[in-house]
Amino acid sequence: MPPFMEPFRIKAVEPIPFPDAGQRRAALVAAGFNLFRVPASAITIDLLTDSGTSAMSAAQWSALFSGDESYAGARSFDRFERVVRELTGYPEVLPVHQGRAAERILLHRLLEPGELSVANTHFDSTRASVEAAGAEALDLPVPVEDDTPVPFGGDLDVAALDRLLHGPDGARIRCVVLTITNNARGGQPVSVANAEATRRLCTEHGVPLLLDASRFAENAYLVRARSAEHAPRTPREVARLIFDLADGCWASLKKDGIANIGGLIALRDPALATRYRDQLIETEGFPTYGGLAGRDLDALAQGLLEVVEPAYLRYRAESALWFADLLEQAGLPVLRPTGCHAVYVDAGRLLGHLRPQELPATAFANELYLAGAVRVTELGTLVFGRPDPAGGPDVPAPRELVRFALPRRVYTASHLRYVAEVAEQVAAKAAAVPGYRIVRQTGALRQFAATLEPL
């Protein structure tokens, strides 16, 4: 195979800002040392998220123009519905404005107080919807030793699910969810074998199996790359194998829809879909637009065709791997194997002189910003730690990770080389990087609004 490269050329460009060292420091101070509060106009390379940050293709931009903005029965919906049905095999298709709207509608109507939702890992917003319904979200990821690379680190612990289903809590389980890929677990894939084993248990116990399919195409590519059995199949065929095993899915199409907004619910059961449609009308809009413009539906339909193209997915996976190697050469402890949507770095190991309460992941992210206006996400004690109710130090997160998320088709190899060079500067002076303390925080989701100061 030829070496990988971007399988596209650039047709429209957008200038990026280059704040100097003084401007970077001023922006970070004004933001209370919280990168979520730094304006995008002060960011050179933004790797905060791969969600809603993709570049659309020429075909998607032209699809926008043929959008049908009719309130009911728009042509754009027909196209979207057809593409989703052909991809997933699910006949019932409900558009929504983004992933969490789908979760809110689906999980809120499905779950009763006291019931259990079990997943390989619930993404934060999924967990929030489960808990808002008065139910409990239980994560059963397959056990993986830290730093032991395994091909399917996104899998569900099927033996644990089996025990749970046969135990006293079995009757409380209302749904099982497979998040593909498993974002909270480094974007690692779920294998077909794991989805099959999960399906068998769900069938045996009459529990619905649902997919959070936000990164279904990346999951399919990684399955194909990591299991000889599925290597001869196209990514679309592998994706379909997994869709075939579930009763339905939801997805944030801000990821593998390669668009800036959108989401969906797709189901087999028409009676369930009718229930959800009622809720859709209440909170999102008429069922043929669901909180989106007709043109969004057209761009999404086109994006869902492009995202399963083998050349695109190969570029996506190989550029993540290439970038991970580059960061490692720059001296960063990189988590392996890499998935597609992000590269994760263990800031706790790099900044070994800081205790978790001194927020090493935040410290590393802020230093990267100061060094070169690169923005990444902290996934350490600021996000996952919990304040001690007795007023003592925070209960730390299990690990101090930083995520370098990769927007789709946005940054070229030279942009990522720049990020690695900036990271190398930070790694070279790791021992001098200061820790942080929280000055002000709100309750839940404190990472978005908290203000901090260096120690």
Chain contacts with ligand F0G (rule: CB under 6 A): 49, 51, 98-100, 123, 125-126, 179, 183, 212, 214, 252, 254, 263
- Asked if 171 contacts 326 with a C-beta cutoff of 8 angstroms, the reply is no
Of the pair 51, 366, the CB lying nearest ligand F0G is at: 51
Cβ 170 to ligand F0G shortest distance, Å: 26
ω into 17 cis (within 30 of 0): no
Residue by residue, DSSP assigns 35-86 as: GGGS-GGG-SEE-S-SSS-PPPPHHHHHHHHT----SSS-HHHHHHHHHHHH
Of the pair 117, 179, the CB lying nearest ligand F0G is at: 179
For residue 27, the surrounding DSSP H or E stretch is helix 21-30
Of the pair 99, 360, the CB lying nearest ligand F0G is at: 99
Cβ 97 to ligand F0G shortest distance, Å: 8
And the tokens for 151? 């091909």
Of the pair 88, 126, the CB lying nearest ligand F0G is at: 126
- Asked if 276 contacts 286 with a C-beta cutoff of 8 angstroms, the reply is no
Cβ 261 to ligand F0G shortest distance, Å: 8
Cβ 410 to ligand F0G shortest distance, Å: 14
Of the pair 19, 99, the CB lying nearest ligand F0G is at: 99
CA separation, residue 201 to residues 204, 245, 401, 451 (Å): 5, 12, 33, 46
Of the pair 34, 252, the CB lying nearest ligand F0G is at: 252
Of the pair 165, 379, the CB lying nearest ligand F0G is at: 379
CA 59 – CA 344 distance, rounded (Å) = 32
Cβ 49 to ligand F0G shortest distance, Å: 4
Please, what sign has the CA dihedral across residues 123, 126, 132, 136? negative
Of the pair 7, 52, the CB lying nearest ligand F0G is at: 52
Instruction: Outline where 307-450 has alpha helix (H).
Output: 310-329, 347-350, 360-372, 381-384, 413-428, 446-449
Cβ 425 to ligand F0G shortest distance, Å: 26
For residue 3, the surrounding DSSP H or E stretch is none
Which residues face 230 on adjacent strands?
Answer: none
Q: Which residue is nearest to ligand F0G (CB)?
A: 99
Cβ 302 to ligand F0G shortest distance, Å: 19
And the tokens for 397? 């997160």
In whole angstroms, what separates CA 328 from the centre of its chain?
Answer: 23
Cβ 101 to ligand F0G shortest distance, Å: 7
Cβ 37 to ligand F0G shortest distance, Å: 16
CA 397 – CA 360 distance, rounded (Å) = 11
Length of the chain: 455
Cβ 183 to ligand F0G shortest distance, Å: 4
CA 4 – CA 128 distance, rounded (Å) = 39
CA separation, residue 306 to residues 57, 233, 235, 332 (Å): 9, 17, 11, 33
Cβ 326 to ligand F0G shortest distance, Å: 22
Which residues face 6 on adjacent strands?
Answer: none
Cβ 184 to ligand F0G shortest distance, Å: 8
Of the pair 51, 319, the CB lying nearest ligand F0G is at: 51
CA 362 – CA 146 distance, rounded (Å) = 21
Cβ-based neighbours of 283, under 8 Å, separated by 6 or more = 101, 104, 105
Of the pair 183, 319, the CB lying nearest ligand F0G is at: 183
Counting other chains too, the contacts that 65-71 makes at CB distance below 8 Å and 24 or more residues apart are 65/295, 66/295, 66/298, 67/293, 67/294, 67/295, 67/296, 67/297, 67/298, 67/299, 68/294, 68/298, 69/293, 69/294, 69/295, 70/294, 71/286, 71/289
Of the pair 214, 338, the CB lying nearest ligand F0G is at: 214
Of the pair 259, 426, the CB lying nearest ligand F0G is at: 259
- Cβ atoms < 10 Å from Cβ of 208: 18
